[in-house]
Chain A
């Protein structure tokens, strides 16, 4: 895909690659600097693999101080910077530019302190999402946000994108689970924002920075909330004859005052692909499947699941299957969590990330199906039904440039539909480069200028991840005063 334009690189910077690499090696040691072509190629893309670009160079600092030295240098020499966690962004958030230095925080992956009395953990930004939970699991705790890529994705990336996950209905997204940050500003100054206390003085800079897509600074450490795990958790499968029935079942459960820890919806194409991959026992003869998980003691779980079964009766579920063992539970979640991988086995796909009000789901799914048909493409839909986050997966043939272009056009149409029904362009993946040019669907130029001026506060010369989030035209008004 090459439909989204990138700014012309600064040839003068590229011409100075050799001396820049030598300077960086002097600053933080040769081992932490990658300047050769093969080495740089390893960083040319992220989870949005259709876009590739070898960066100017890559540094992999090991400490906040090294990040600070590198940023101060970039600031002094006006070199653009792309921050990178694990490179799993699905919107091209970590896509490099030819004239930009990639600063990867993957080496900074330590747990610095676990404080069970305060229920917090202080960790470095390169730690994987699951790494935090793994560190506190022996004491029965966990870190709540759980993006599907949690095995690989870094906390730093989660903070940049304010990542969510399947269990966010009950536990919130990244911004609800981070209490403090250490961030290096573009001029190399290091600031601490928030801490182990529950709110911060002054403006909510923490809230502003989380989700700023690496455009305000580079986060090197974070203090996150850790929560005590429930005594147990168990999912059930509910199969329905239509997406409308499934949607109404979700409404009925919530209206009864039950907030399951997760409510995941899959349409028929998604069910079939996932079942073929995970052998989770998903029913194949239903139009829509819900995975509903509740938590508590064994008795509490049984009571809640029983209550849910009663509540959904009016919507005529054709399948009601409650997990009866940890193995079944694991299989049910394996199917859902590996949905992207499973679909990836049968086709290239383009994973969209819009949000819609639950009440509009049946209508939106119908329209998505029509949009995809009009481009001659197939689609499978996965939906965090509890929080309105829809992931249509558009299947396409990667070797066919025509299909590639169609997939992108089709995706853009779907996201415009999400906004039109009261949702938004992105629920948990971020804008990145992928949805940059769609921002005007959701925001006026004045609103974009206001946001861009906020970036200018943190980054007066627009060196931090500059090609992302905002359309390339109309940026002049946000220039530093």
Chain B
């Protein structure tokens, strides 16, 4: 029976971790637990949540910076930012509904701990690019900080970034300080229908290589596009290739026309207006096209132009439905359920093309049987294992969640 601990203060959390470390008690670390379904299956004696460590500590809109305690709901962070016309530019996706978690309930700490970034990552950078500073308690129970509240900071090693994407295996974040940016005044979306993957990604690359600051570049294969909540687009029963422009209203018409000219070789270009665009990209953030299925789902990162090659390679081995984000560099691939969810074949394809794959949605038995996160090269695995032992000498934090050995 797992005990459930909800420290109300950083001090209490530190005490708890010191005890756990001293007694070699493995603990599961969560914020609001929305992403518990991701990762290798763990055996832990207790669950510790940062859900009580809430509150925005600092928000200086004119310095583009906010600090929030780790358990602060992402929704609260975003509503505070929106009240001043600002946003998290990396547009964190809501992955929870794909893995049985509660929609819209993620904590801000979890966003950075898992480095979740959405479509705007292609132009604005990932969550890890927006982190400015952290406070945390290590697995050894040591309270520490890194970075600060200013945009530039090279004082000491960059532990803030090292903790981004570590899935709670190195330390428990207690406070995050991050860069925020103004929301654009207006958004437009250019759509192309019914073009195949390779051509679509070429079109996305053309647009990304233009000076018009494209801030979203996705291609959705027809079977997944049919799941869009937008009835009109879903009803097209065709693949959808979409590009986003965001700017001052005075620039939108000009940039839309110029980008249409760039894309005209790829087919008829349709334009979504501001309101339609907002709801379309909100669907991308909520991963609407990946919902409503229990099929194994892989998240594959590769060089953008290699995206279609990866998908074509996988398709040689198994049925696969793909949603490309990041101009082709991020592939969400849904495959048919098998004993290993296609892991061996998918990783073989990736080994020849370059990149890495993570099994996001999979039955617990599958997640116990296969490497959920991409296996690391031996030298990097050794460095990573040593890094884990510096932060968490007793190996108590989310043991085995990322890799069996640490």
Binding site for B on A (CB under 8 A): 115-120, 140-141, 161-162, 164, 168-169, 172-173, 175-176, 185, 189, 191-193, 195-205, 207-208, 210-212, 228-231, 250-252, 254-255, 257-259, 296-297, 299-300, 303-304, 355-359, 384, 386-389, 422-431, 435, 439, 442-444, 446-448, 450-451, 453-455, 457-458, 469
Q: Does B82 contact A (CB under 8 A)?
A: no
Chain A residues whose CB sits within 8 angstroms of the CB of B326 once the complex forms? 198
Please state if A204 and B152 are interface contacts (CB–CB under 8 Å): no
Please state if B156 and A208 are interface contacts (CB–CB under 8 Å): no
| Among listed B7-15, B93-101, B160-168, interface-contacting one | B160-168
Q: Does B61 contact A (CB under 8 A)?
A: yes
Interchain CA distance A304-B377 in the complex, whole Å: 49
Q: Does B79 contact A (CB under 8 A)?
A: no
Q: Does B188 contact A (CB under 8 A)?
A: no
CB distance from A133 to the nearest CB of B (A): 15
Chain B residues whose CB sits within 8 angstroms of the CB of A424 once the complex forms? 148, 150, 153, 155
Please state if A204 and B142 are interface contacts (CB–CB under 8 Å): no
Interchain CA distance A426-B164 in the complex, whole Å: 22
Interchain CA distance A121-B68 in the complex, whole Å: 36
A-B pair number, CB within 8 angstroms: 252
Q: Which of A116, A303, A389, A450 contacts B142 (CB 8 A)?
A: A450
Q: Which of B122, B154, B202, B374 contacts A202 (CB 8 A)?
A: B374
Interface-centre pick from A196, A389, A431, A442 (highest chain B CB count, 10 A): A196
Q: Does B373 contact A (CB under 8 A)?
A: yes
20 contacts between A and B (CB under 8 A): A185-B379, A191-B383, A197-B329, A199-B128, A199-B165, A202-B403, A204-B163, A205-B162, A207-B128, A210-B158, A228-B211, A230-B213, A231-B211, A254-B61, A254-B63, A259-B182, A296-B251, A423-B150, A442-B156, A457-B386
Closest to B330 in A: A198
CB distance from B211 to the nearest CB of A (A): 5
Chain A residues whose CB sits within 8 angstroms of the CB of B301 once the complex forms? 197-201
Closest to A229 in B: B211
Please state if B380 and A389 are interface contacts (CB–CB under 8 Å): no
Chain A residues whose CB sits within 8 angstroms of the CB of B303 once the complex forms? 115, 118, 120, 195-197
Given A120-B303, A359-B62, A198-B138 contact (CB < 8 Å) = no
Chain A residues whose CB sits within 8 angstroms of the CB of B386 once the complex forms? 457
Contact with A along B179-208 (1 / 0, CB 8 A): 001111100000000000000001001001
Please state if B165 and A258 are interface contacts (CB–CB under 8 Å): no
4 A-B pairs with the lowest CB-CB distances in the bound complex, closest first? A207-B161, A387-B151, A257-B182, A196-B303
CB distance from B190 to the nearest CB of A (A): 17
Interchain CA distance A87-B122 in the complex, whole Å: 33
Please state if A203 and B181 are interface contacts (CB–CB under 8 Å): no
Chain A residues whose CB sits within 8 angstroms of the CB of B64 once the complex forms? 254
Interchain CA distance A198-B63 in the complex, whole Å: 27
11 further interface pairs, Cβ-Cβ under 8 Å (given A172-B125, A200-B301, A458-B383): A117-B304, A176-B129, A204-B161, A204-B163, A204-B164, A211-B158, A257-B183, A427-B153, A429-B154, A444-B144, A450-B391
Q: Does B402 contact A (CB under 8 A)?
A: yes
Chain B residues whose CB sits within 8 angstroms of the CB of A423 once the complex forms? 148, 150
Interchain CA distance A200-B387 in the complex, whole Å: 16
Q: Which of B205, B356, B387 contacts A457 (CB 8 A)?
A: B387
Please state if A469 and B156 are interface contacts (CB–CB under 8 Å): yes
Within 8 A of A (CB), among B37-77: 60-65
Contact with A along B380-396 (1 / 0, CB 8 A): 11011011001100000
Interchain CA distance A299-B248 in the complex, whole Å: 12
Given A207-B161, A358-B62, A422-B148, A450-B329 contact (CB < 8 Å) = no
Size bracket, chain B contacts: 35 or more
Please state if B373 and A450 are interface contacts (CB–CB under 8 Å): no
Q: Does B149 contact A (CB under 8 A)?
A: yes
Binding site for A on B (CB under 8 A): 60-65, 84-85, 115, 117, 121-122, 125-126, 128-129, 138, 142, 144-146, 148-159, 161-166, 170, 181-185, 202, 205, 208-211, 213, 248, 250-251, 254, 301-306, 326, 329-330, 354-356, 358, 373-374, 376-377, 379-381, 383-384, 386-387, 390-391, 402-403
CB distance from B16 to the nearest CB of A (A): 18
CB distance from B137 to the nearest CB of A (A): 12
Closest to B374 in A: A201
Given A208-B162, A211-B157, A196-B149 contact (CB < 8 Å) = no
Chain A residues whose CB sits within 8 angstroms of the CB of B149 once the complex forms? 357, 422
Please state if A162 and B158 are interface contacts (CB–CB under 8 Å): yes
CB distance from A451 to the nearest CB of B (A): 5
CB distance from A207 to the nearest CB of B (A): 3
Chain A residues whose CB sits within 8 angstroms of the CB of B150 once the complex forms? 355-357, 387-389, 422-424, 427
Interchain CA distance A428-B151 in the complex, whole Å: 10
Chain B residues whose CB sits within 8 angstroms of the CB of A201 once the complex forms? 301, 356, 358, 373-374, 376
Please state if B60 and A359 are interface contacts (CB–CB under 8 Å): yes
Interchain CA distance A229-B211 in the complex, whole Å: 6
Chain B residues whose CB sits within 8 angstroms of the CB of A200 once the complex forms? 301, 356
Please state if B373 and A202 are interface contacts (CB–CB under 8 Å): yes
CB distance from B103 to the nearest CB of A (A): 24
Please state if B161 and A359 are interface contacts (CB–CB under 8 Å): no
Interchain CA distance A140-B210 in the complex, whole Å: 9
Interchain CA distance A198-B329 in the complex, whole Å: 7
Please state if B154 and A427 are interface contacts (CB–CB under 8 Å): yes
Chain B residues whose CB sits within 8 angstroms of the CB of A211 once the complex forms? 154, 157-158
Chain A residues whose CB sits within 8 angstroms of the CB of B65 once the complex forms? 357
CB distance from B405 to the nearest CB of A (A): 12
Interchain CA distance A446-B138 in the complex, whole Å: 12
Chain B residues whose CB sits within 8 angstroms of the CB of A304 once the complex forms? 248
Chain A residues whose CB sits within 8 angstroms of the CB of B129 once the complex forms? 172, 175-176
Given A199-B301, A208-B158, A457-B390, A193-B62 contact (CB < 8 Å) = no
CB distance from B30 to the nearest CB of A (A): 19
Closest to A386 in B: B151
Interface-centre pick from A212, A254, A303, A426 (highest chain B CB count, 10 A): A254
CB distance from A200 to the nearest CB of B (A): 7
Q: Which of A204, A252, A357 contacts B128 (CB 8 A)?
A: A204
CB distance from A392 to the nearest CB of B (A): 15
Closest to A198 in B: B329
Closest to A183 in B: B379
Please state if A203 and B162 are interface contacts (CB–CB under 8 Å): yes
Closest to B205 in A: A117
Given A196-B354, A229-B211, A457-B390, A207-B304 contact (CB < 8 Å) = no
Given A116-B209, A191-B379, A201-B373, A450-B170 contact (CB < 8 Å) = no
Please state if B156 and A431 are interface contacts (CB–CB under 8 Å): yes
Chain A residues whose CB sits within 8 angstroms of the CB of B354 once the complex forms? 195-197
Interchain CA distance A429-B155 in the complex, whole Å: 9
Please state if A202 and B156 are interface contacts (CB–CB under 8 Å): no
Please state if A451 and B164 are interface contacts (CB–CB under 8 Å): no
Interface-centre pick from B129, B144, B150, B354 (highest chain A CB count, 10 A): B150
CB distance from B65 to the nearest CB of A (A): 8
Chain A residues whose CB sits within 8 angstroms of the CB of B305 once the complex forms? 115, 117-118
Chain B residues whose CB sits within 8 angstroms of the CB of A250 once the complex forms? 62
CB distance from A169 to the nearest CB of B (A): 7
Please state if B152 and A428 are interface contacts (CB–CB under 8 Å): yes
Chain A residues whose CB sits within 8 angstroms of the CB of B306 once the complex forms? 118, 196
Chain A residues whose CB sits within 8 angstroms of the CB of B182 once the complex forms? 254, 257-259
CB distance from B339 to the nearest CB of A (A): 23
Chain A residues whose CB sits within 8 angstroms of the CB of B128 once the complex forms? 199, 204, 207
Interchain CA distance A202-B387 in the complex, whole Å: 11
Please state if B402 and A202 are interface contacts (CB–CB under 8 Å): yes
Please state if B211 and A439 are interface contacts (CB–CB under 8 Å): no
Closest to A206 in B: B161
